[in-house]
Amino acid sequence: MQLPSYIEDHISQIPALQLLIKMGYQYLAPEEALALRGGRTSNVLLEPILKEQLQKINSIQYKDKEFAFSDSNINTAIVELRDLPIQDGFIKANQFFFDLITLGKSLEQNVLNDKKSFSFQYIDWVTIENNVFHVTEEYAVLRNDRNDTYRPDIVLFINGIPMVVIECKSNVIKKPMDEAISQHLRNQQEDGIRGLYQYSNMVMSLAVNEAKFATTATKKEFWSVWKEVFRTKEEGVNYGDAIRQLKNDELPNTERTAIFNQRFKNVLHYFNQLEKEEVIITEQDKLVFSLCQKSRLLELIFNYIVYDDGIKKIARYQQYFAIKETLKKISKADVNGKRTGGVIWHTQGSG
């Protein structure tokens, strides 16, 4: 079957959206996302979702009783998230945000006539199901000191906070990966949309048979591929079967309607027919599946991002799996109660 066209929307963006929805992300049409932003492209937080989630995942445990945080404290937490110290620099603001969501903050509140400080979180890093995950597309954001907007292709949200920004390209254009990465870097310039990227933790570039990832402000030469064997015998999981099953599942009618409502009917017809055939697994599918699974995404953000001398870094696949295997090995003791060591064999420059 022939594609309706070779534009990125049909061969990269829609397949990425479909896979993310099947992975459990709730789809928001662009107009829905804009409504949740109060109709303002200068605002990038989905504040109604954020407020509801902050109320849900936070509570005060005091003298064997549970209390809710006050509305004023919830609003204070949102204001602190909204007003990052961008005046101190782009990466400084991003690091302030990262510390805020990973370490949380303390908020004072009167409880049983005692004024105490209590821990407050933006993300539930322990119970993943307590968080909500959304995906939207064509996310128009007002440029700095300009009247026009840039529109990243796909944005992923956790609890209403934009965490992942994705650019999609057609694989028939010349050097699509370079184009996608350059677009990310352009967007992060002073006259771009730093208001969005100050919240990013992962950025991805997809071009069907090519796919790379990085983190905020990563230079082009340090963008990475992710290599993963889609078979894990020890855990009894075959990721190859899992991604193949997801790709071949039918999209729920509600999300199907939302995605294709603003597109031409021939595009909907094409994708309806495509669902009846065996779908090929692409490199962009593998990257999205590997990095955007809810548990994996939270794990990468919380445990595998560092700020090193003003540069933000995220682990490469070999670093991630080496650390996982190391922790698995040292957590076990032999019959004599001793823990064994080992050597990580790698090539120069692999990290």
Q: What is the pLDDT of residues 144-162, one digit of tens each?
A: 989 999 999 999 999 999 9
Phi, psi of 207 (to 5 degrees): -145, 50
Q: What is the pLDDT of residues 103-129, one digit of tens each?
A: 999 999 999 989 999 999 999 999 999
Q: What is the pLDDT of residues 51-96, one digit of tens each?
A: 999 999 999 999 889 999 999 999 999 999 999 999 999 999 999 9
Angle at CA of residue 50, ends 47 and 54, nearest 5°: 140
**Confidence check: pLDDT of 350 > 70:** no
Average pLDDT taken over every residue of the chain: 89
How far is residue 201's CA from residue 199's CA, in Å, rounded to a whole number? 7
- Residue 25 half-sphere exposure, CB side, CA atoms within 13 Å? 30
How far is residue 116's CA from residue 107's CA, in Å, rounded to a whole number? 8
Q: What is the pLDDT of residues 222-253, one digit of tens each?
A: 999 999 876 544 455 566 778 888 888 877 77
**Confidence check: pLDDT of 339 > 90:** no
- Residue 53 half-sphere exposure, CB side, CA atoms within 13 Å? 23
What whole-number percentage of the chain has pLDDT above 90?
70
Instruction: Determine the average pLDDT of the residues in 310-328.
Output: 92
Indicate the residue type of 284.
Answer: Q
Instruction: Determine the average pLDDT of the residues in 32-42.
Output: 97
- pLDDT value for 1: 44
E-assigned strands of the chain?
A: 26-28, 60-62, 65-67, 105-111, 114-120, 133-137, 141-142, 149-150, 154-158, 161-168, 202-206, 211-214, 305-308, 311-314
Q: What is the pLDDT of residues 257-304, one digit of tens each?
A: 677 776 655 555 556 555 656 678 899 999 999 999 999 999 999 999
Q: What is the pLDDT of residues 276-289, one digit of tens each?
A: 566 788 999 999 99
